[in-house]
């Protein structure tokens, strides 16, 4: 990948002030007339950050394995016993489902399939996503207690 300098430094300096960080995606001046594609992408980024955040939590939990299997199980049972954490696990399912499905949509767009129908494609994937989210909630909250099974 060549990183050629395409724009002169003079123009860059001039436009520097106008550039902004990711808060500009939520700029109230232009926020009201955005299309679905824009929001699909913004949520793709935000869910991506969420998934990376979960990854660290995952490492923290796994690191208790260093203290032996019992320590890990204690840790896991502790989390499983809190209702909020159970709800957050479902939240994790939802953002992974969104990220995955919208990722598929973007792959399809990259291949060149259905660029004209990208909005319809988004809603089709979102309906699939809602069904999968409901299914995951059903499974999460009806999983039999592990202790009883064992």
Partner 1 sequence: MDADKLNKEYEFTIKIKRYDPQVDKAPYWKDYKVKITASTTLLDTLFKIMEEQDPSISLRYNCRSAVCGSCAMLINGKHGLACKTKPAELGTSVIKVEPLPYLPVIKDLVVNMDPFFEKLRAIKPYMITDEANWPEKEFRQSPANHRAVDQYAGCILCGACYSSCITVWTDKNYLGPAALTQAYRFVIDERDIATKERLKLVDSEDGVYRCHTSFNCVEACPKGIKPTDAIQGLKRKIAVQKIKSLLRIG
Residue 46 binds partner 1 (CB under 8 A): no
Residue 150 binds partner 1 (CB under 8 A): no
Per CB under 8 A, the segment of 12-20, 48-56, 59-67, 123-131 that binds partner 1 is 12-20
Residue 29 binds partner 1 (CB under 8 A): yes
DSSP codes joined into one string, 59-88: HHHHHGGGG-HHHHHHHHHHHHH-HHHHHH
Could you tell me the smallest distance in angstroms from the CB atom of residue 105 to partner 1? 9
Q: Which of 6, 52, 84, 149 binds partner 1 (CB under 8 A)?
A: 6
- Half-sphere exposure for 22 (CA within 13 Å, toward CB): 7
Cα angle 45, 56, 90 (rounded to 5 degrees) comes to 65
For residue 103, the surrounding DSSP H or E stretch is helix 83-111
Residue 104 binds partner 1 (CB under 8 A): no
In the structure encoding, which two tokens stand for residue 64, read together?
């208790």
Phi-psi map region of 52: left, alpha, beta (phi>0 left; psi -120 to 50 alpha)? alpha
Residue 31 binds partner 1 (CB under 8 A): yes
Q: Identify residues 107-146 at the interface with partner 1 (CB under 8 A).
A: 109-112, 115-116, 118
Per CB under 8 A, the segment of 53-61, 70-78, 105-113, 132-140 that binds partner 1 is 105-113
Residue 58 binds partner 1 (CB under 8 A): no
CB atoms within 10 A of CB 106: 15
Contacts to partner 1 by CB under 8 A: 1-8, 11-12, 14-22, 24-25, 27, 29-38, 40-42, 106, 109-112, 115-116, 118
């Amino acid at each position: 990948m060549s990183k050629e300098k395409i724009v002169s430094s003079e123009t860059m300096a001039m436009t520097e002030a106008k550039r902004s960080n990711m808060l500009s995606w939520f700029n109230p001046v232009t926020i009201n007339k955005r299309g679905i594609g824009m929001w699909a992408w913004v949520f793709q980024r935000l869910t991506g950050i969420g998934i990376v955040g979960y990854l660290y939590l995952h490492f923290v939990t796994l690191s208790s394995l260093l203290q032996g299997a019992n320590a890990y199980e204690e840790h896991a049972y502790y989390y499983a016993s809190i209702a909020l954490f159970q709800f957050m696990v479902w939240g994790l399912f939802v953002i992974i489902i969104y990220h995955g499905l919208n990722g598929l949509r973007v792959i399809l767009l990259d291949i060149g399939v259905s660029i004209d129908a990208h909005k319809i494609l988004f809603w089709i994937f979102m309906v699939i996503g809602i069904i999968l989210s409901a299914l995951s909630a059903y499974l999460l909250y009806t999983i039999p207690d592990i202790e009883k099974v064992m």
